[in-house]
């Protein structure tokens, strides 16, 4: 819901409350009573449709989100080392691994399945791993992090956006309610002379109420996948915005006032592989992200 739509909905609800509290001012005036009945029905429908478009955070667990992130990062790091060893000598096994974090940004169930499949490949072929790169302890840690994530309660998905059909239905219903509001104010002119205070107050209540704007921010940290250190000079772009950013010495990129929703983040830096990751940006909130870039191997 946009800020303007929220303002209109607030105005509709305020007007409905005002009319209910001041019913004696228009008692017996059938034109106003009928107009209010139609207005109330329209507002009820709009509020119902508005609720269907709201972001639903039910079931979200920050603990599960954190554990999912930890499991993904560990798997990405270990697979990166294993693939480096296997790419030439064991290409089939290497092909069964996923060394890019973006491969794991799936639903909880799909991500858990993929993580366990990757672990199975590594554990089942542990004898072929370079112990200096991937040790038995590393595999144990990886499995523990995967189990911690998959066994955690709740969902790591912070938001589930409404379907386009629901948003369209809400917009249409809101437009109808705004027309009914104008007709209600017009009908109340019937008592403008006898109840001037009521009418003047209604006109004020029926004006669109300004609301506080909650901006959406992204705090993105870019790291070197090899050692986990901050990466300076990485350029970030976003599929839903013309805004870009470059990471500072701390690997930090801050983007203010960007649209929420599912967004493709693209990172570019000389000497590193381009990285494209689909992320979900929660509207009206501060979004904290960490992405790791892989250096280009020079042969």
For the domain that residue 50 is a member of, what is the CATH number? 1.20.1270
Residue 250, token pair as written in the block = 């701390």
Instruction: Provide the pLDDT confidence category of residue 200 given band limits of 50, 70 and 90.
Output: very high
- Please check whether residue 192 lies inside any domain of the structure: yes
Q: Decide if 276 contacts 264 (C-beta within 8 A).
A: yes
For 84-102, b/e burial (b = at least 16 CB within 10 A) is bbbeeeeeebbebbbbbbb
pLDDT at 76 over 90: no
For residues 72 and 140, membership in a common domain is answered with: yes
Q: Is residue 108 part of a domain?
A: yes
> Are the beta carbons of 183 and 39 closer than 8 angstroms?
yes
- Joined together, the tokens standing for residue 87 give 């790419």
Mean per-residue pLDDT for 46-57? 74
User: Can you give the pLDDT at residue 100?
Assistant: 63
* Helix, strand, coil share (%) of the chain residues, nearest 5: 55, 15, 30
Confidence label for 5 from pLDDT (cuts 50, 70 and 90) = confident
Average pLDDT value for the chain: 86
Confidence of residue 189 (pLDDT cuts 50, 70, 90): very high
Average pLDDT over residues 114-135: 91
What is the band of 135 on the pLDDT scale with cuts at 50, 70, 90? very high
Please state, in angstroms and rounded to a whole number, the distance separating the CA atoms of residues 144 and 126. Answer: 17
Look at residue 12 and tell me if it is in a domain: yes
pLDDT at 163 over 80: no
Q: In this model, does residue 151 exceed pLDDT 70?
A: yes
Are 68 and 149 within one domain?
A: yes
Does any domain span residue 210? Answer: no
Instruction: Give the model's pLDDT for residue 123.
Output: 92
Is 133 within 8 Å of 82 (Cβ atoms)?
A: yes
Q: What is the rounded distance in angstroms from the CA atom of residue 134 to the CA atom of residue 77?
A: 10
Report residue 195's pLDDT band, with 50, 70 and 90 as the boundaries: very high
User: What proportion of the chain, given as a percentage, has pLDDT over 70?
Assistant: 89
185: nearest Cα among 15, 69, 51, 46: 15
- Residue 109 sits in the same domain as residue 148: yes
Query: Are 63 and 140 members of one domain?
Result: yes
Q: What percent of the chain has pLDDT over 90?
A: 47
Residue 95 pLDDT > 90, yes or no? Answer: no
* Number of domains making up the chain: 3
The per-residue pLDDT for 159 is 54
C-alpha–C-alpha distance, residues 235 and 19, integer Å: 55
Task: Enumerate the H helices of 152-264 as residue ranges.
Answer: 164-187, 196-205
Per-residue pLDDT at 162 exceeds 60: no
Any idea what the CATH number is for the domain that residue 293 is in? 2.60.40.1120
What is the span of the domain harbouring residue 111?
A: 59-157
pLDDT of residue 101: 60
pTM: 0.42
Closest CA to 21 of 176, 205, 178: 205
Interval 240-296: pLDDT, tens: 888 899 999 889 998 877 877 788 899 999 999 999 988 888 777 778 889 999 999
More confident position, 132 or 34: 34
pLDDT for 35 = 96
Q: How confident is the model at residue 234 (pLDDT cuts 50, 70, 90)?
A: very high
211: tokens are 């609301």
Q: What is the DSSP letter of 220?
A: E
Predicted pLDDT of residue 173: 94
Q: What is the pLDDT of residue 267?
A: 95
pLDDT of 125 reads 92
For tokens 């794991």, what's the residue? 104
Instruction: Give domain status of residue 185, yes or no.
Output: yes
- Please tell me whether residues 101 and 37 are part of one structural domain: no
Please tell me the least confidently modeled range out of 59-63, 92-96, 100-104, 128-132.
Answer: 100-104
Give the relative orientation of helices 3-21 and 196-205 as an angle to the nearest 10 degrees.
160
Residues 134 and 79 in one domain: yes
């Amino acid at each position: 819901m946009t800020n303007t739509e929220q303002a209109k909905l607030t105005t509709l609800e305020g007007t409905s409350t005002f009319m209910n509290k001041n019913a004696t001012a228009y008692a017996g005036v059938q034109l106003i009573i009928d107009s209010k009945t139609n207005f109330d029905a329209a507002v009820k429908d709009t509020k119902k449709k508005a609720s269907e478009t709201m972001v639903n955070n039910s079931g979200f667990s920050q603990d599960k989100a954190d554990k999912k992130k930890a499991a993904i990062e560990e798997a990405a790091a270990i697979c990166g080392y294993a693939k480096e060893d296997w790419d030439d000598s064991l290409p089939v096994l290497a092909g069964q691994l996923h060394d890019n974090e973006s491969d794991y940004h799936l639903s909880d169930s799909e991500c858990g399945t993929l993580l366990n499949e990757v672990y199975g490949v590594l554990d089942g072929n542990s004898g072929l791993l370079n112990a200096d790169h991937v040790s038995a302890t590393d595999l144990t840690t990886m499995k523990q992090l995967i189990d911690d994530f998959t066994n955690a309660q709740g969902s790591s998905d912070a938001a589930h956006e409404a379907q386009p059909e629901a948003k369209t239905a809400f917009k249409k219903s809101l437009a109808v309610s705004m027309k009914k509001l104008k007709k209600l104010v017009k009908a109340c002119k019937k008592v403008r002379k006898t109840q001037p205070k009521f009418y003047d107050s209604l006109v004020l209540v029926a004006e669109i109420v300004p609301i506080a704007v909650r901006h959406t921010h992204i705090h993105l940290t870019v790291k070197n996948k090899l050692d986990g250190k901050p990466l300076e000079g990485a350029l970030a772009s976003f599929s839903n915005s013309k805004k870009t950013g470059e990471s500072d010495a701390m690997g930090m990129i801050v983007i203010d006032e960007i649209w929420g929703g599912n967004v493709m983040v693209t990172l570019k830096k000389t000497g590193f592989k381009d990285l494209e990751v689909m992320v979900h940006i929660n509207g009206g909130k501060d979004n904290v992200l960490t992405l790791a870039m892989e250096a280009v191997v020079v042969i």
